[in-house]
Chains A and B, each alone.
Chain A
């Protein structure tokens, strides 16, 4: 099966940079993705890494190291609206299909 570990909570101040780590165990790894979810809302897609390295999308970047089974989400120039839960997810082989497994989520609290 698949399992993911990410910190339960991270706090930072507005304008700062924060990194949310994710380590995973999976069979047949097929990519690491990140989703954002505000309280009471639906998850929304942020980024996806299939290969090692850094992917940048505006203020958000995501990194993957397949040899270390590790990735992170980097949020720069933090804004109050970035306060939300962030989930990493892997696609792993299960029953012939690559189904997604989500981590338990990291609650990011941004202080003024």
Chain B
């Protein structure tokens, strides 16, 4: 049981290049999320997918797109990378989404450290 896995672990891009960050979970969770973390900042939600087939914008979606490929996989795409997107990106999953009365603990992947030059 690997939990949440992310690839790659590190990436350096030039301004204007594109790339896709991959995330997969093996806990049969319905909901998945993408966050970015910058120094001195908390985690900021980029996009989330409450269930397979749905995606919604979070707090900072500009410059990103996502795909919920199936229940296990949720990818984040940078179409034209900018230096402002230099950050650590975390993928997370939870059993259910944010609605409802029960809290659903989020399980985080190890992160992808992205530098855009």
Contact = CB atoms under 8 A, between A and B. Distances in A.
A33 B56 CA distance: 22
Given A101-B59, A102-B43, A102-B44, A48 B103 contact: yes
B103 A31 contact: yes
B84 to A, nearest CB: 18
B103 A33 contact: yes
Interface string B19-53: 00000000000000000000011111100101000
User: Interface residues of B toward A: which range?
Assistant: 20 to 34
A55 to B, nearest CB: 11
Nearest to A48: B103
Please report whether the interface of chain A is mostly helix, strand, loop or mixed according to DSSP: strand
Contacts of A45: 105-107
Contact of A103 (B42, B48, B101): B42
B110 interface: yes
A112 interface: no
Contacts of B40: 8, 104-105
Contacts of A89: 42-43
18 contacts: A30-B98, A33-B103, A42-B90, A42-B109, A50-B103, A91-B98, A91-B103, A95-B56, A95-B57, A97-B56, A97-B99, A100-B45, A100-B98, A102-B43, A102-B44, A103-B42, A104-B40, A105-B41
